[in-house]
Amino acid sequence: WMPSQNWNGKFQGVGHGGFAGSIGYAGLAVALRAGFAAAATDTGHEAGGTDARWALGHPEKIVDFGYRAVHLTAVTGKAIVQSFYGAAPRWAYFASCSNGGRQALMEAQRFPDDYNGLIAGAPANYITHLQAGSEYISWVGLKDGLNAPGYIPRDKLAVIHKAALAACDAKDGVRDGVITDPRRCHFAPKTIQCSSADGPDCLTAPQVKTVERIYAGAKFAEGRQIFPGFEVGSELGWGGMTSGPEPFSIGTGFFKYMVFGDPKWDFRTLNVDRDTRVADQRLGKIVNAIDPNLKSFKAHGGKVIMYHGWADPAIAPGNSINYYESVVGAMGGVQQTQDFLRLFMAPGMGHCQGGAGPNTFDAVGALEQWREHNTPPEKMIASHSTNGTGDVTRPLCPYPKVAIYKGTGSTSDAANFVCGTPNW
């Protein structure tokens, strides 16, 4: 899509969540309104975003989905722009979330010259481990059926969430229904275990065990983490994976149609240690974007903004922190990394959007200022709305910094917070 007038001289690639399968028209429209010429791809197949049946018997389509389609869309899109306007775009950016975040990091790793800047929101970049971890979370609660002792009914998610907030919300000095950094709180689900019979406001002992396993996440047999578990504060969103009767279709479809090529594969047979290893062996080099060596991307001035909501109930936010820290190790340290890549963790934000915390912010604008004017984002102001009315603003800070309340003024106003290292 190309503006017929008032083109800003820039190109934007638009990504897609899930398994793609359609053109992201909404993302194209946002880019177009901002003056960009923009391009998107269905990544080589037509299907619903949670439907993986297209992959059965088609390894070439998995390659398209894994990395080829987004790269060729960038190459071809920029050529079309040059033909239409008679000039090449001065700057090229890519912005997306979830699988689109994986696409962004894949571009940085495999095709570092495609874009000048990338926005990778809640990236599904370790997709073999993500889907194994997601299927494991479903397996924990659903493998024995909805009448099993460890099954957690949807209405008990609010009970767990209320207890989590009671334990953790005020730790940052502001009681606002949002947990600033869940890792700094140690909520024990056993504190709401029923004293006798099951009840609506407590958990049975088997249910406590299920919750503990969801927080802990999937692990290999020797104890090494496969994928992080969900964070304290994300409980209201667990229903898609834990309420059943079947798991969320993306994880099951991944194993049925992409890993095992068997439409009859049953999630109840999951052996997370074995099946993760099979997924890695068969698909890891095609779909995973976990290479921390971004020297080629950095060398031509490329910039990356990553972001992730702490309350994400689809892709555990610890995955983004793990990747960021791997880049720090590969690139020579924090400063060398933050010269071109910064991660912003959003308290209370769900998967790519929504949630109790501020979740709307201008990452594209911040990226443009950084790449074009060498002004790195020291913070991004995020806002939250209720029924269409803005009610809270808060700075999002480059990890590992967090927003700290100054101690005076409205806690709903970003001006009363600073980015820093907490002592709580």
Under DSSP, the state recorded for 231 is P
Please identify which of the residues 45, 71, 351, 384 carries the catalytic annotation.
Answer: 351
φ and ψ of 297, to 5 deg: -65, -45
- How distant, in Å, are the alpha carbons of 147, 242, 366 from that of 150? 8, 11, 45
What's the CA angle centered on 334, arms 333 and 338, to 5 degrees? 125
Please report, for residues 80, 338, 365, 373, the alpha-carbon distance to residue 370 in angstroms, rounded to integers and kept in the order given.
Answer: 26, 11, 9, 6
User: Would you call 312 a catalytic residue per the annotation?
Assistant: yes
CB-based burial, 111-132: b 16+ in 10 Å, e otherwise: bbebbbbbbbbbbbbbbbbbbb
Give me the residue label for tokens 């993760």. 276
Catalytic residue selected from 98, 134, 234, 320: 98
As to burial, measured by CB atoms within 10 angstroms (0-12 exposed, 13-18 middle, 19+ buried), residue 11 is buried
What are the CA-CA distances from residue 13 to residues 4, 29, 127, 364 (Å)?
18, 12, 21, 12
234 flagged as catalytic: no
Q: Active site residue: 16, 312, 320, 384, which one?
A: 312
Decide if 381 contacts 137 (C-beta within 8 A).
no
Supply the residues annotated as catalytic. 98, 312, 351
